[in-house]
Amino acid sequence: MPAVNRKSILTLSVASLLAGAADARSAMEFNRDIRPILTSHCTSCHGGVKSAGGVSFVYREKALGKGKSGAAIIVPGKPEESEIMARVVSKDPEEVMPKPEHGPPLKPAEIERLRQWIAEGAVWSEHWSLVPPVAAAVPEVQDKTWSRVDWDAFIKARLEAGGLNPSPEAGAAEWLRRVSLDLTGLPPSLEDFQAWQKALAADPRAAREAVVDRLLASPAYGERWATVWLDLARYADTYGYEKDPHRDIWPWRDWVIRALNADMPFDQFTIKQLAGDELPDATSDDLLATAFHRNTQNNTEGGTNDEEFRAVAIVDRVNTTWTTWQATTFGCVQCHAHPYDPYPHADYYKFMSFFDSSEDADLDNDFPRFPVAAKMEDGGPLAALWKESRELRRALNDEGAAMAGKDASWQILKPLSAKASGGTLTIGDGGRVTAGGTLPVGVVHTLEAAAVPGLTALRLRIFPDKDDPLSWPERASVLSHLTLSSVAADGRREEVKIKEVIADYLAGPFDPQESLDGGPGGFGSYPAQSGGRWCVVVLEKPLAAAEGGKLEIAMKQGAVSNANQQACTLRNFTWETSTSPAWTSWLAAPERAEKWARLGEVKAAISRMPATSVPVMLERSAPAARDTRVWVRGNRLTKSDAVQPGVPERLSPPETPGRMSRLDMARWLVGGRNPLTSRVLANRLWAEMFGRGIVETLEDFGSSGALPTHPELLDFLAVRLAGAQGWSMKKHLREIALSATYAQTCRTTAEAVARDPGNALLARGPRQRLSAEMMRDHALKVSGLLSGKMGGPPVYPPQPAGVWNSVYSGESWKTSEGEDRYRRGVYTYVKRTSGYPGFLSFDAPARDLCSARRLPTNTPLQALVTLNDPAYLEMAAALAERVEKDGGTPLEQITRACRLITLGDPPAELTGALSRLYVATLEDARARQAAGGKSDTTPERAAMILVANTLLNTDLALNR
Amino acid sequence: MIEHPLLNPTRRHFLRDCSLGLAGLWLAGQGGAHAASAAAGGVLKKDAAHPWRPETGHFPARAKRVIYLHMAGSPSQLDLFDYKPELEKLDGKDCPQSVLAGKQFAFIQGVPKMLGTQFPFKQHGQSGQWISDRLPHLAGCADELCVVRSMYTDQFNHGPAQLLMHTGSQSPGHASFGAWSTYGLGSENDNLPGFIVLTSGGKNPDAGKSVWGSGYLPSVYQGVQCRSAGEPVLFLQDPPGVDRAARRRSLDALAEINAATASTVGDPETVTRMAQYEMAFRMQLHAAEAFDLTKEPAEVHELYGTQPGKESFANNCLLARRLAERGVRFIQLFDWGWDSHGAGQSEALNHGFKGKCESVDKACAALLTDLRRRGLLEDTLVIWGGEFGRTPMRENRQGQEMAFIGRDHNPGAFTLWMAGGGVKAGTSYGATDEIGYQAAVDKVSVADFHATTLALLGFDHMKFNYPINGVPMRLSNVTKPGSKVVRGLMA
């Protein structure tokens, strides 16, 4: 889905301001002059989705071709022969384009631009963001003294071209507050300010560098920047959807904070999160990192189709990957070719294929999960044990599967009778048993056959309901409990002991051995099946059956899929028998017993280590890989051609041949040939520091997104970030924080605002409202309440009763005690269906889906939060106590409180207005006391609390 | 707007003068938007400091406000409004393959049985509208209703279908009907949000808060969800120890400080913020008063069946009237629990459906009666309906007969009624096929419904748009050309 936004409209005006009206004599530039005309007037009918009359303006070859009418659409050099010109100037309502009911006609200037462009040869260029970035030389500027970093010149040159001057340097307090909040999300302390002032007097440059380095090294840095990533990753502490139960995925949130604090290069940061499980020698952290894509919602509402919501989750993974790394509205391509950008329909499914064969399947237990050790030092050993247990289990099974292939003695078992405890069974040709009727959960199929003397193993083959792969996946089939009995001619029955159940391959949440215990799990595909499966049941010892004896096979099917709605029954199967003695001797081999014993030890060791089980990405084994197909019109129920994993042709796929893995895809994203990733990241970091991106639509670098205000600067930054800076976000932010552009004051005039309301040209410094989390953290820090405790399970700061209306989950908001009450906002519990009210009011997203940008709003409901929320009152009370503790007159106390925000001497209006408020409130409180009114606080404290509450609501406090 | 006596001259002066000078980001932004789509018509100029200032549309409005009663989950039109004698004859018979071919259902599998109407129907009022015995009170208002029996949609799951009904698009991120209305018309009450959402039935609608979101429109136009029990708006009450006078003094100090900041820093957002704090102050007073049902006389409680302090659809209807009286532009009610699959007793047609109908029948009728006698119905558009219809087949999950009686989702046909501002009262519009499966005569799409309701509010739906990424977005969905105003619904 394209993330639409209101702010991009600003960009249209600024972009035209920047581009200027193209001089009639200068050459036309396709991306600047022509593409916007096509995108706004033509491509909704003549684009990637619809190409009415066989005409499309998304691909060059089509635009320069012929329409269905046979007319040449665009003839380079010959506007008079180009049908497009005839159509846009036509006065005939039947002929004119756009059709009057579809939109307004082209303006004369637009027609002129088209004409000139065709006359000049109709030179087509790729959309800007698809051309790899190249660092241009830093431009020449008139005033060479202004720049502090080389790229400041790009900003200055643009200002000079527009006849504008940059703003003066921000004062010491303004800059320190801004850079502290931008880099760490916390305001500076008075001590920080005093130290900075002292250093500034000695050596301004060194002083600035020291401040920025200190902030980047602070652990608070990771906590602040994690929020940006958590919005993209749609991190939440619950599953989402109707029931929205708890999910333990906070260790991943802590991993993000640690990775950011360690300044993990962004290419590594990317690879680990998208494909850490596929890295050779993956560590505990590598596996944990993959929880990025397990932040998708999981639907546990009764009756919801597991496969449907697995599909929703992988679609979300595709869209989130494209928004986060490529700023591309790839979601459009799910249903049809992209309307504006060059991505054919099948590209979506090629890319989806990277995510289609993961183990997770919308199961209620969030399978698969990985134990993240509670103690950091246990991480390595625990991951090693976990890996060993998986490998051992696989080896044990695969040896058996290979044996089954070598066994030449398999014979079809033709049952004498077949009965189901609910429903009907029919025995067909070749021993094929098919089921009909109700087949409820827990149904038992009982088959009777002539006993096979010397029987050592049985093979169950499950067949699909329909042979057409386009109709897959189908309802699951799981053999939950298998019992064999030998029935002698005289009716004596004896249980035939089964030693092992070997599956064709291991996949899904159940172990085939579970077919031998009484639980609902066991051999089969779960929660849905695609194609046939088989398993071998190996007997403890060869069957000693007498003449006339029978074998009874009882098959219980207790598994339920689709959130407890659909019975996973056996509906179409055969049994085969083997008398090969190899099975018995193989079972008895001491190496096998040792492996089983070792597996038991490993599992026991794992369970002894304290850990949190976190959902992670794990790939199904090759034979279990899903068959990804194109969904016709985006509907998963109508499948067509099978596709191989791959990335769009227009984005320079890797040249190495062979099937691409998820790991290859992750490497491609951060590889040198991808034109988008470095730009998208540079733009995001820029936007956090300046309040708007060089490309304002952080989520869309396509032709429907905004154009960059400073394209050369963006490319310069992108090349430096991925090159010289080695994908270091800290190095990149350091340069921004030390730039002259960033150092400007935000103080401005009405004229300047009118000229550039969004500050696109950066003729002044940034001024941003605090983000939702910063709003809380700032007030906690100023009031002295903030806890520095890092990491761990989410916390429950005070919120109004009744906000959590968890009808089904039975969970409740238990307000945290002690320091957990005052933790940073990043640790506040994120419930998808009921976000923390104080954060939602300040534009925090619900975290249902990837969110690339918070649009800042300014509403009365925000005022109600910071004025009246008891949490803010508690902070005001703490601030009042804090300033009272140091004594002095009320004015001195008020001034101290103000300094926590202004750092320098507070303006007279601030202290004056607050002092008058103090006096009036104090008089009032005293009068009330004199009249016999009761209060928990002294009149002085009550007045100071209101002063503190007011101070925390000033525009000075709410902004950075 | 109430000017507080303590309002100091400095602030008043500042707000008056500076809000003109520093008119905020939007005006400047709108300039660009205007230039981008001027020829397409009607982009509005909005003032960020006064986003809810009343405005007028392209032509005189027949309705000044909307009360939209959404029955989330979608009630069965076949058991309430769309009387189908033919279907009764088919009751219990296997559904013919021709009906099933090419159709997709949420739950029906295999060959379901046809299911006749479960309740007796009668004609009511002068107009002779067919209404079943489930809605006796509403039947008494038959002559006020304009019943549209030929609605259809293209979404058959709740979330997307609700989004389509409320935002014109099945995917999240688009502006809701209420947001468009307040963006276009502002609000007539400066002391309450212009777009208020109330929910009942224990849950929010399936599509979540996106159904009252502002999408690409400025976020002040998003619906404000209020609670019908307890504090109507979170953090509305002054905290303990802070009384009204203290809060006023505190806000005066704040205004003085912020005015100084605005002068020295020059950020237009500061000016907007000052206005928002003032509105918050007024909202505290007025919202509490507007939501206080205890002031209503016993006769009114009798009429609606309301009990103050209880969260119910009836209470929300009475609140809707109180909010309408106070000039709130768009009042959106959601009542959850209409998804009559027959999968559980609480929603089954032969069980819980009865109670569900009772919980809305009296209150809906009371709302119409009350609005009428107060002279508000003439310019209040009342809308009632779900997000799609229900099948004439009985639901059979996993191909099995279920314990309770229910119907699956049916995008092909549903019924919606409107009353009041500018709609043709006592009318039935359109018809479905003989079994009530597909809209057949005078079909009305969701986009047509939006085009028509916007027309009642004074807007040409084609011109009432907002450009995003070069596309003039509109409520009647730019990707669905051919949507039309249905004149036959208009008085």
* Residue A931 in contact with partner chain B when CB distance is under 8 A: no
B179 vs A: CB within 8 A: no
| Beta strands B224-225; B195-200: pairing state | parallel
B196 burial via Cβ count (<10 Å: 0-12, 13-18, 19+): buried
**A517 token code pair:** 């215990």
CB atoms within 10 A of CB B88: 15
* Chain B residues with beta carbon closer than 8 angstroms to that of A328: none
What pLDDT was estimated at residue B471? Answer: 65
Q: What is the pLDDT of residue A66?
A: 86
Q: Give the span between the Cα atoms of A173 and A153, in whole angstroms.
A: 25
Q: What is the mean pLDDT of residues A158-181?
A: 96
pLDDT at A103: 76
Residues on chain B touching A955 (C-beta within 8 angstroms): 257-258, 261-262, 265, 267, 269-270, 273
Least confident stretch, A333-347, A880-894, A934-948, B22-36: B22-36
Cβ A954–B261 below 8 Å, yes or no? Answer: yes
At B468 the pLDDT is 61
Å between A260 CA and nearest CA of chain B:
30
- Give dist(CA A28, CA B48) in Å, integer: 38
- Closest residue on chain B to A937 (Cα): B241
Nearest-Cα distance to chain B for A531, in Å, is 21
Residues of A in contact with B219 (CB under 8 A): 843, 855, 857, 859
Whether residue B472 lies within 8 A of chain A, CB to CB, comes out as yes
Assess B155–A contact: CB distance below 8 Å, yes or no: no
- The whole-chain average pLDDT of chain B stands at 85
Banded pLDDT at B28 (limits 50, 70, 90)? very low
B36 touches chain A (CB under 8 A): yes
CB contact under 8 A, B219 and A757: no
Give the pLDDT confidence score for residue B106 in this predicted structure: 65
| Mean predicted lDDT score pLDDT of chain A | 92
Q: Could you tell me the CA-to-CA distances from A506 to A461, A502, B482 in Å, in that order?
A: 15, 9, 54
Bridging pattern class, strands A533-539 and A474-479 = unpaired
- pLDDT above 70 covers a percentage of chain A that reads 96
Q: Whole-angstrom Cα distance, residue A14 to residue A710?
A: 11
Structure token digits, residue A338? 């992209």
In chain B, what residues touch A912 (CB-CB under 8 Å)?
A: 256
B471 near A CB under 8 A: yes
Closest CA to B138 of B333, B382, B324, B375: B382
Average pLDDT (A324-339) is: 84
Residue labelled with tokens 């936007």: A687
Contact A916 B253 (CB under 8 A): yes
Asked whether the beta carbons of A355 and A519 are under 8 A apart, the reply is no
> What's the Rg (C-alpha) of chain B?
24
Partner B contacted by A750 (CB < 8 A): yes
| Cβ atoms of B358 and B366 closer than 8 Å | no
Q: CA of B401: which chain A residue's CA is closest?
A: A438
Distance CA A262, CA A222 (A): 8
pLDDT at A154 over 90: yes
A-chain residue closest to B260, CA distance: A909
d(CA A246, CA A238): 4
Dump pLDDT digits (tens) for A772-799.
Answer: 999 999 999 999 999 999 999 999 999 8
Cα separation of B164 and B177, whole Å? 10
Query: Measured between CA atoms, how close is A717 to chain B, in angstroms?
Result: 25
Half-sphere exposure of A299 (CA within 13 A, CB side): 18
> Which residue out of B45, B257, B311, B409 would a mutagenesis test of the A interface target, given it has the greatest number of A Cβ atoms within 10 Å?
B257
The mean-pLDDT minimum among A295-299, A420-424, B213-217 falls in B213-217
Chain A partners within 8 Å of B279 (Cβ): 860, 863
Please tell me if residue A767 touches chain B, with a CB cutoff of 8 Å.
Answer: yes
Is the peptide bond between A939 and the residue preceding it cis, with omega within 30 degrees of 0? no
B237 at interface of A, judged by CB pairs closer than 8 A: yes
Taking an 8 Å cut-off on Cβ atoms, the answer to whether B250 and A950 are in contact is yes
CB contacts, 8 Å: B261 with chain A: 954-956
Q: Which of B259, B267, B470 shows the shortest C-beta gap to A704?
A: B470
| Rounded alpha-carbon distances, angstroms, from residue A799 to A865, A866, B236 | 11, 13, 14
Kindly state the tokens that stand for A591.
């190496």
Q: Is some CB atom of chain A closer than 8 A to the CB atom of B48?
A: yes
Q: Can you list the positions of beta strands (E) in B324-478?
A: 330-336, 380-385, 389-394, 407-410, 414-420, 427-429, 431-432, 439-441, 444-445, 466-468, 471-473
Q: Are A145 and A151 in contact (CB under 8 A)?
A: no
Residue A24 pLDDT > 60, yes or no?
Answer: no
Range with the poorest average pLDDT among A278-287, A808-817, B459-468: A808-817
State the angle between helix axes of A219-232 and A250-261 in degrees (0 to 180), rounded to the nearest 10: 130
**What six digits make up the tokens of A376?**
């950091």
Kindly state the tokens that stand for A612.
Answer: 């949190």
Is B33's pLDDT higher than 50? no
Interface of A with B in 829-848 (CB under 8 A): 833, 837, 843, 846, 848
Residues of A in contact with B252 (CB under 8 A): 913, 917
A567: closest chain B residue by CA: B398
Residue A25 binned pLDDT confidence (cut-offs 50, 70, 90)? low
Task: Please tell me if residue B309 touches chain A, with a CB cutoff of 8 Å.
Answer: no
Q: Distance between CA A147 and CA B306 in Å, rounded?
A: 69
Give rounded-to-5 percent helix, strand, coil for chain B. 35, 15, 45
Interface residue B245 vs chain A (CB under 8 A): yes
A69 touches chain B (CB under 8 A): no
ipTM: 0.89
Per-residue pLDDT, averaged over B115-125, amounts to 96
Query: What mean pLDDT is predicted for residues A304-329?
Result: 92
Mean pLDDT within A328-351: 85
